[in-house]
Amino acid sequence: MQLMSDEELEEMFEEYEVFLKSLSFPIQEQIISQPVDLKVYIDSQTSIYAKTSNDKRKELLASYIDYSKQIETSNQIMQRKRYIVFSVPVKQQTNKAFEIAKKTAFTNENHIINGLLSLKLLARPLNNLQLLRLLHVLFDYETAQLSPIQSDTIKEIITGGTEV
């Protein structure tokens, strides 16, 4: 957006306003700062390091890998992601009511995605792992930064206990 002219910015905001007015359900937009996950990049550099025979290049790659790991675990680098949140109530506790709510949620999701795509903005729903990572960031930023969740399978946290 910083490279857009005033006319382009005004046009984009007008189109976004039209999109917002097209919604027949309430939404909430959140901008959340999150740590950058450089694991894939660091792994690729480590793979190159393992295949390198030149000692000087290995030394340089090793220091670059260490530097990348330090950046990843520091507060120096983060990304801001935008999320659009909406809810669909389940009117009764029946399978039919649940299916209706699910269908409404998918319809609303498609409306949002298509509306944002028409503005040339990338939009996609979160998968389970992405949602867990987002919740991890919201509730424990430091641990999420140092040790992000790697699987969408969560072990049971509470075991045992008695019912009162």
Residue 54, burial from CB neighbour count under 10 angstroms (0-12, 13-18, 19+): exposed
Q: What is the overall mean pLDDT for the chain?
A: 86
Element (H, E) at 33: strand 28-35
Rounded Cα distance between 9 and 106, Å, is 30
- Look at residues 107, 93, 82 and name the one whose alpha carbon lies nearest to residue 24: 107
User: In the structure, what pLDDT confidence band is assigned to residue 106 with cuts at 50, 70 and 90?
Assistant: very high
Residue 58 tokens, joined: 């290995």
User: In the structure, what pLDDT confidence band is assigned to residue 162 with cuts at 50, 70 and 90?
Assistant: low
Q: What is the pLDDT of residue 86?
A: 94
Encode pLDDT of 144-159 as tens digits: 777 778 888 876 666 6
Would the pLDDT of 75 be above 60? Answer: yes
Q: What is the pLDDT of residue 38?
A: 80
Would the pLDDT of 104 be above 80? Answer: yes
Q: What is the pLDDT of residue 124?
A: 92
Q: Give the range among 28-32, 61-65, 90-94, 153-157 with minimum mean pLDDT.
A: 153-157
Look at the alpha carbons of 90, 91, 94, 96 in this order and tell me if their dihedral is positive or negative. negative
Encode pLDDT of 2-41 as tens digits: 788 899 889 989 999 999 999 999 999 999 887 777 878 8
- Look at residues 103, 123, 104 and name the one whose alpha carbon lies nearest to residue 113: 123
CB 73 within 8 A of CB 145: yes
Rounded Cα distance between 30 and 28, Å, is 6
> How many CB atoms within 10 Å of residue 30?
11
Rounded Cα distance between 33 and 82, Å, is 9
